[in-house]
Amino acid sequence: MRTALDVHISEVGPRDGLQSVKATMPTADKCRWIDALAAAGLREIEVGSFVPAKLLPQMADVAAVVRHALTLTVSHPGLRVMALVPNRRGAWAALTAGVHKLTLPVSASEAHSLANVRKTSAQMVEELRSVVALRNEVAPGVPVEVGLSTAFGCTLQGAVAEDDVIRLALACVEAGVDEVGLSDTTGMAHPAQVRRLFTRLRAELGSHAGAAHMHNTRGLGLANCLAAFDAGVRSFDSSLGGLGGCPYAPGASGNVVTEDLVFMFEAMGVSTGIDLQQLFAAREPLKAGLPGEPVYGMTPEAGLPRGWRA
């Protein structure tokens, strides 16, 4: 997935973004948005989550959205269709639908874990074992990824000890997952903390160390991504227009804006494989599908600098 690219950017807006707004985007609009994201050059898109519709009605059509996204692999070879699953049941539904990658939420904060998935962190590690066993049985080529939620602090619990984060990350790897990344779910991280914790994660997990998933709640999203990059991270989650948050983390607001993240890296000479003009164009189906929903991004508003390469 990352050959010829300096960094890999995973678009999480169709899942993380849409589950965090009150309105439900119609299925046809979701599909048009995903079409535009793929056309812009994004090669991994988290298209939804396999959770009960009564809990997240915004995700009720996830199987249909996955089916549509899979058709794009003909015109966009290498596109990876990803979905979030909270448990074995969700994993079975996602694998049956044909997703290319599973991601599971495991929280470093016990309070957030209970609020988000109604399980302790230890119970989620056991759920991981079950999901990995299912994957090994029915779809051995599908990677399983964990994003450690609230790794940098929690609005419910407060501080989260770094030793606890590393210990939980190692437990996830021992349970059989392919990658473990760190998520700043509540936007409490700062660059020194990000650099320190990702350095530890990479030293402890080696090739199992995964993506940086940063939020911009306090305006430090890009700075934290750059700190993670300096620590050796080469995979980043972001959301078009900065949509996102967490329904079970009070005060958490949007993800890092994909447009701004791509601009930062490309301006630095770090290749993302993403076309910024087409990425800007992908904002239009997003706005059409969620009329009136605020859409953020400094780069789309300011425009590209004069002489910016095509």
pLDDT tens, residue order, the chain (310 aa): 334 589 999 999 999 999 988 899 999 999 999 999 999 999 999 999 999 999 899 999 999 999 999 999 999 999 999 999 999 999 999 999 999 999 998 989 887 777 777 888 888 899 999 999 999 999 999 999 999 999 999 888 889 999 999 999 999 999 999 999 999 988 999 999 999 999 999 999 999 999 999 999 999 999 999 999 999 999 999 999 999 765 544 555 689 999 999 999 999 999 999 999 999 999 999 999 999 999 999 999 999 999 887 5
Cβ contact 202:169 at 8 Å: no
The set of residues, in sequence order, having a beta carbon less than 8 Å from that of 206 and lying 6+ positions away, is none
- Report the Cα 102 to chain-centroid distance in Å: 11
In angstroms, the CA 55 to CA 15 distance is 14
Which residue is it, tokens 């706005």? 287
Neighbouring C-beta atoms of residue 74, cutoff 10 Å: 8
- Is-catalytic flag, 246? yes
pLDDT value at position 273? 96
What is the C-alpha to C-alpha distance for residues 138 and 65, in angstroms, rounded to an integer? 21
**Tokens 């396999």, located at residue:** 50
pLDDT at 49: 97
Distances (CA, A) of 218 to 123, 152, 224: 31, 13, 11
Count of CB atoms situated within 10 Å of the CB of 271: 12
Neighbours of 96 (CB within 10 A): 13
What ranges in the chain are assigned the alpha helix state H?
Answer: 27-39, 62-71, 88-97, 110-117, 121-138, 162-174, 191-205, 221-230, 258-267, 276-281, 283-289, 298-302
Tell me the pTM. 0.94
The per-residue pLDDT for 4 is 59
Contacts of 116-121 with CB under 8 Å at 24 or more apart are: 116/149, 116/246, 116/248, 116/249, 117/86, 117/87, 121/168
pLDDT value of residue 245:
64
Superfamily of domain 8-301: Aldolase class I (3.20.20.70)
Handedness of CA 133, 61, 107, 89 (dihedral sign): negative
The pLDDT assigned to 238 comes to 97
Is residue 13 helix, strand or coil? helix
Contact 191, 220 (CB under 8 A): yes
Catalytic hit among 154, 172, 225, 246: 246
In the chain, domain spans:
8-301
- Interatomic CA distance for residues 306 and 23, integer angstroms: 37
| Residue 253: per-residue pLDDT | 62
